[in-house]
């Protein structure tokens, strides 16, 4: 077998990842099943046996699913608009979608505060439109959390879909139309399957990021709302309960992996027809 010398160029990157990512990860997984008295599943038993922790896992999963779904619903058409926009419009759309990435989460949450407070802009607007009679509590509600999460993670959905859609040949839908395909048929059979690699990348990214979210939920919800990452941090830093923290990390990893693998499998099934 001939060896590709260019493959050697990947070595530094792979080595770096192995050092800073793979090794700690393996160490973590190891410590989740290794106690002072040898092999144990104690961490997992305490985690999954406790209704409180099960509730946290369920809440994190729900948050990640809603965030991913919302980002997909908003991001898929946005990626198309971005890819189809010409000249100046593309710059404007790009800025609108990606500027949030450049703004620190602290600044963003301050901004949400201004919008969502009892005397905030949204309440003021709704009051003046006569849609509500008195100010509604918005901040520290789950609705506000979902809106904030989608705001934070939307660019990670748009970018990979945009990258794929931009390369789609615009004559393919034209060809479909001349063959008698309605716009919907053409979308379902041509555009959608060809854009799936971008969707899979976007869904994988946003789900992995949002299931592990820490900062945004704590800023928008305070202490009353616990995600898996918050439990993990508490276990490691406050309780010094490494086994519990590592078990939670393993569950988190398994969930993210399941979605990434599942999305890729779904693409293979839908893309081939």
Partner 1 sequence: MNDQHLAVRGASKRFGTASVLDDLSLAVARGEFVSLLGPSGCGKTTLLRCIAGLLRLDAGSIAVAGRDISALPAHRRNVGVVFQNYALFPHLTVAQNIGFGLRAQGVRAAEAAPRIAEALALVRMAEFADRPVTALSGGQQQRVAVARALVVRPTLLLLDEPFSALDRKLRETMQVELKHLLREVGITAIFVTHDQEEALVVSDRIAVMNAGRIEQLADPATLYQRPASLYVLDFVGQSMRLGGTVSAAGLGEVTVETRLGTVRAPGAFAPGSRVVVAVRPEAVTLTETPPGGRNTLAARVSEVSFLGSRTQLHLDLPAGEDRGVVELPRLPPGIGPGSAVPLAFPIADTMVFPAA
Residue ranges in contact with partner 1 by CB under 8 A? 169, 171-172, 174-183, 185-186, 189-190, 193-194, 271-273
The CB-of-171 to partner 1 minimum distance in angstroms stands at 4
Please tell me the distance from the alpha carbon of residue 149 to that of residue 259, in angstroms, as a whole number: 18
Phi and psi at 34, nearest 5°, equal: -125, 110
The CB-of-166 to partner 1 minimum distance in angstroms stands at 15
* Closer CB to partner 1, 79 or 190, in the complex: 190
Using CA of residue 80, residue 81, residue 87, residue 93, what is the dihedral sign? Answer: negative
Residue 33 tokens, joined: 């099943």
Please tell me the distance from the alpha carbon of residue 257 to that of residue 213, in angstroms, as a whole number: 16
Please tell me the distance from the alpha carbon of residue 51 to that of residue 57, in angstroms, as a whole number: 10
User: What letter would DSSP give residue 225?
Assistant: S
The CB-of-267 to partner 1 minimum distance in angstroms stands at 11
197 touches 270 (CB < 8 A): no
* Closer CB to partner 1, 130 or 180, in the complex: 180
Nearest C-alpha neighbor of 67 from the set 259, 272, 230, 271 = 259
The CB-of-159 to partner 1 minimum distance in angstroms stands at 22
The CB-of-26 to partner 1 minimum distance in angstroms stands at 38
In DSSP notation, 228-250 reads HHHHHHIIIIIS--HHHHHHHHH
* Closer CB to partner 1, 118 or 189, in the complex: 189
The CB-of-169 to partner 1 minimum distance in angstroms stands at 6
* Closer CB to partner 1, 13 or 170, in the complex: 170
* Closer CB to partner 1, 110 or 185, in the complex: 185
Q: Kindly report each contact of residues 86-93 with a partner whose C-beta sits within 8 Å and lies 24 or more positions away, as own/partner.
A: none
* Closer CB to partner 1, 128 or 178, in the complex: 178
- Only one residue has tokens 């949030």, namely 100
């Amino acid at each position: 077998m001939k060896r590709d010398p260019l493959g050697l160029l990947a070595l530094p990157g792979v080595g770096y990842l192995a050092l800073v990512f793979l090794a700690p990860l393996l160490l973590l997984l190891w410590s989740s099943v290794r106690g002072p008295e040898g092999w144990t599943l104690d961490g997992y038993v305490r985690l999954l046996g406790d209704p409180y922790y099960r509730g946290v896992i369920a809440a994190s999963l729900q948050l990640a699913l809603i965030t991913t779904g919302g980002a997909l619903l908003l991001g898929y058409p946005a990626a198309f608009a971005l890819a189809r926009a010409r000249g100046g419009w593309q710059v404007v759309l790009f800025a609108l979608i990606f500027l949030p990435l450049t703004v620190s989460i602290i600044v963003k949450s301050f901004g949400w505060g201004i919008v969502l407070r009892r005397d905030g802009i949204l309440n003021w607007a709704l009051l003046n439109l006569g849609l509500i009679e008195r100010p509604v509590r918005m901040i520290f509600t789950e609705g506000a959390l979902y809106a904030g999460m989608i705001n934070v993670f939307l660019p990670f959905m748009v970018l990979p879909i945009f990258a794929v859609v931009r390369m789609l040949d615009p004559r393919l839908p034209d060809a479909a139309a001349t063959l008698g395909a309605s716009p919907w048929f053409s979308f379902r059979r041509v555009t959608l399957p060809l854009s799936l690699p971008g969707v899979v990348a976007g869904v994988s990214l946003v789900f992995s990021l949002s299931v592990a979210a820490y900062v945004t939920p704590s800023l928008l919800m305070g202490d009353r709302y616990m995600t898996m990452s918050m439990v993990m941090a508490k276990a490691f830093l406050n309780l010094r309960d490494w086994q519990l923290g590592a078990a939670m990390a393993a569950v988190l990893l398994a969930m993210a992996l399941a979605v990434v693998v599942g999305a890729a499998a779904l693409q293979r099934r839908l893309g081939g027809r």
